[in-house]
Structure 1
Amino acid sequence: MNGKRSKLSRQIVLSMSLVSVITTLIAFVGSYIIYGLLFTLWPPPPGPPENMFIVHAPDYVIFASLLLAALVVAIVLALRLAKRIIAPLNSLAEGARRIAEGDLAARALPGDLSLGETANLVDDFNTMAVKLADMAAEMTFWNAAVAHELRTPLTILKGRLQGIRDGVFEPTETLVDGLLIQVDSLSRLVDDLRVVTLQNSGHLEMHFVTTDISVEIQHVVDSVRSALLAAGFSLDLATRSVLVECDGTRIRQAILALIDNARRYATPGQLIVRTTVSDLHVILQVEDEGPGIAPDFARQAFEPFTRAELSRSRSSGGTGLGLSVVRAIALAHGGTVRYRRSAVGGSIFEMALPRASL
């Protein structure tokens, strides 16, 4: 931006210098032409040029006429230059005022495109305005999505607690366990939101240590194996011991999110968790037997609050944040995520992490 301002200043200085040169040339060349004609039409008498430096009344008239003509030209040129510069700047000021008042659809007009620096300045302003509008729209979407996700567990909690207070429900162990499940759901939603939001703002803290990725995978698998078996899944591990510079807690969170995503959206069957190793990356894969996701949805699968369409007989119960949390954690580690279909038509979700430099 400083470079553009300096270019604009340089152009203004050059333009004003050109106006001054033109004004001087008009006065000088005009004097030369007029006095040349006068000496041609009315030559001075022969002899020594007496009174050559004495200014007479006609000379004042000539000088005044030339200066007036030069002044008119200078004013015209200055007005044209001012219009080229001030028009887009006024548009910028008006656009900034409208945006400050809440009109994020306001845009500035570039005006005369021959003045490239002001046109670039207007383009930068309009780009900023577009990003502000996109951020506002995204914030509105996030607020609505968060409110929607919070509504169900809060409604259940409120209803059950009011029922206990009014004597409608007995505070049995089963009822308390159900309430704790809703609290756990709220806690997980808040934590997922925190991870995604901090990563988007570049403030997600990581505590990197050299970690054996197979050990972290084993910890997660051991904690969810019984739930997967109860849901009809058979779990196979195809991992190898390999060191990764990572935050072990966050990696376990990402692995759990991938497995939980398969449990919610895949049909019961074989679930494979594997690792593959390249020269630079360790790739963690979670593969199911189907039914996979539609190509249109695959492009936005890792965006927050997105869910695949399920049949009426199935309900995911998810928040639509699981895969976005996986992406946030992968990006915080300098890695990547992607989705692809397996050879049998199922889903393969991959998270690639940089290997440890030993």
Structure 2
Amino acid sequence: MMLKKGLSRQILLAMSSMTVVVCLVVFFGTYIAFGIIYYFSPWSQYEESWLTGVDFIILSILIFIALIVAAVASVRLTRRILQPLESLAQSARRIKDGDLSARALPGDQSLGETAYLVQDFNAMAQRLDDMAADMKLWNATIAHELRTPLTILKGRLRGMIDGVFEPDETSLQSLVMQVDSLARLVEDLRTVTLADSGHLDLRIEPVRLKQEIEQLGNLLEEELRDEGFELRLSLADVVIQADAMRIRQVLLALVTNARRHAVRGAIDITLHVEDRITRLRVIDEGPGLGDDIAPWAFEPFRRGTRTGHHEKTGNGLGLSVVRAIVEAHGGKIHYAPSAKGGAMFEISLGRPVF
């Protein structure tokens, strides 16, 4: 209420003072101008006085009326201005106290800058609310993802200490697998966080994508064949500015995603230039992403209900890491169903160098 009273009084005094000053300036300016004209006019010698006391009384009444009109107008304007500002101030205090759901009322939309101020404030408050919700989700999900491997590690190590389990090679390999799972989760979280903050370290240099993809394919081909997959490459000879290691990481994540969720069949990797844009695609034979996950496929810790024949445990960060790396290169990635009913991930990586 202090804001409303103080600002209202200031607006009222300012507008009233301005009205009085303008009236006095107009009156005395007119008086002086008319006096000069009257002094040099031929009929001035026949008139003793051209401004009487009645004229001053009439002028005073007019100034008083103008002052009342200015006061009424300023009060109405004050209400229009102060309503959104007061709502904004109250919402700011609520947000300061931890209530991120607070929103200011826009009031009169015709007050351009005031309305924009309220809209920007509400947008900022909504972003803070979304960030807080995402942080809670991340904390809960990370705790859930860490709980299983840590519980296994603790239980196995405690069992070895108590003599329940023998510390043989098989048991130690199992523990190493759990440590690897934790290491992958930490590295994926680090990559996504650095990319979102714009601090992901990239070693950009000319990269011959065909050569990089063929080398990766040679490493994966035998393992994929053993699992019933056929890796097929259709690659144009393209050179772009990129981080070769990160591009291999992207391809490996997409191929691994197909191995986990797709049926046995072909995994196609294609590379071509279309409309002066380098396009890299990874396509499998199904079943693709379900409707429940497709719109959110690249968000962290998102998992769908549709499963494939070889689905294995994942941390839900694979596709979000892919998106983070691609966007750090200035590119884009999107998902679409393939012609064979599977999943198609297309990456746009900008113009080729040559």
Q: Specify the SS of the correspondent of 2:146.
A: helix
CA contact (8 A) 2:289 2:306 kept: no
Contact 1:26/1:66 (CA < 8 Å) preserved in 2? no
Q: Give, in angstroms, the shift of residue 280 of structure 1.
A: 2.1
Residue 246 of structure 1: CA displacement?
Answer: 0.6
Partner of 1:182: 178
Show the counterpart of 1:307: 303
Counterpart position of 1:146:
142
Q: Is 91-100 or 338-347 further displaced after alignment? A: 338-347
Q: Does 1:158 align with 2:154?
A: yes
Q: Which amino acid aligns with 1:119?
A: A
Does the Cα contact within 8 Å between 1:243 and 1:355 map onto a contact in 2? no
Shift of residue 227, structure 1, vs aligned partner: 3.5
Would the aligned equivalents of 1:98 and 1:104 in 2 still touch at CA under 8 Å?
Answer: yes
Aligned pairs for 1:244-259 (under 5 A) are: 244-259=240-255
SS at match of 2:84: helix
Judge which range, 92-101 or 224-233, deviates more: 224-233
Alignment size in residue pairs: 328
Following superposition, the deviation at residue 24 of structure 1 comes to: 4.6
Q: Provide the rounded CA distance (Å) in 2 between the counterparts of 1:22 and 1:59.
A: 17
Amino acid at match of 1:356: P
- Segments of 5+ residues of structure 1 without an aligned counterpart are 1-11, 33-46
SS in structure 2 at match of 1:241? coil
1:329 maps to 325
Residue in structure 2 matching 1:92, options 75, 88, 91: 88
| C-alpha distance in 1 between matches for 2:21 and 2:66 | 5
Which amino acid in structure 1 is aligned with residue 170 of structure 2? T
8 A Cα contact 1:107 1:129, kept in partner:
yes
Question: Structure 1 residues 54, 276: closer, same or farther in 2, change over 3 A?
Answer: closer
C-alpha distance in 2, partners of 1:52/1:282?
A: 89
Contact 1:19 1:78 in 2 (8 A): no
Instruction: For 1:66 and 1:155, locate their aligned partners in 2 and report how far apart those are by CA, in whole Å.
Output: 87
Q: Are 2:11 and 1:20 aligned?
A: no
Tell me which residue corresponds to 2:285.
289
In 1, the alpha carbon distance for the partners of 2:275 and 2:55 equals 89
Q: Secondary structure at the match of 1:286?
A: strand
1:271 is matched with which residue?
A: 267
Query: Please, what is the CA RMSD of the aligned residues?
Result: 3.2
Distance 2:230 2:22 in 1: 92
Moved more, 87-96 or 219-228: 219-228
Cross-structure match for 1:215 = 211
TM-score normalised by L of structure 1? 0.80
| Secondary structure class of the residue paired with 2:305 | coil
Deviates more, 1:338-347 or 1:261-270: 338-347
Query: Is 1:228 paired with 2:224?
Result: yes
- The letter for the 1-side match of 2:242 is C
| Residue in 1 that maps onto 2:115 | 119
TM superposition shift of 1:274: 2.6
Structure-1 residue corresponding to 2:202: 206
Deviation (angstroms), 1:266: 0.7
Kindly tell me: are residues 151 and 225 of structure 1, through their superposed partners in 2, closer, same or farther at Cα, counting changes over 3 Å?
farther
Deviations 1:208-248 (A, max 9, x none): 11111122223333333343234332323333432121101
Q: CA deviation at 1:252?
A: 0.9
Q: Displacement of 1:125 after TM fit?
A: 1.0
Q: Distance in 2 between matches of 1:163 and 1:72?
A: 90
Q: Please, which moves more after superposition, 107-116 or 120-129?
A: 107-116
Deviations 1:136-174 (A, max 9, x none): 112211222212211111111111111111111111111
**Deviation string for 1:8-65 (max 9, x for gaps)?**
xxxx99x966973487559978xx9xxxxxxxxxxxxxx976687786xx88876665
**Structure 2: runs of 5 or more not aligned:** 1-9, 31-44
CA deviations over 1:166-222 (Å, ceiling 9, x no partner): 111111111111111111111111111122222222222211111111222233333
Contact 1:339 1:350 in 2 (8 A): yes
8 Å Cα contact 1:335-1:354 kept in structure 2 = yes
Contact 2:265–2:284 (CA under 8 A) maintained in structure 1: yes
Contact 1:199 1:332 (8 Å CA) reproduced:
yes
Which AA in structure 2 matches 1:141?
L
CA contact (8 A) 1:27 1:70 kept: no
8 Å CA contact 1:232, 1:268 repeated in 2: yes
Q: CA deviation at 1:320?
A: 1.4
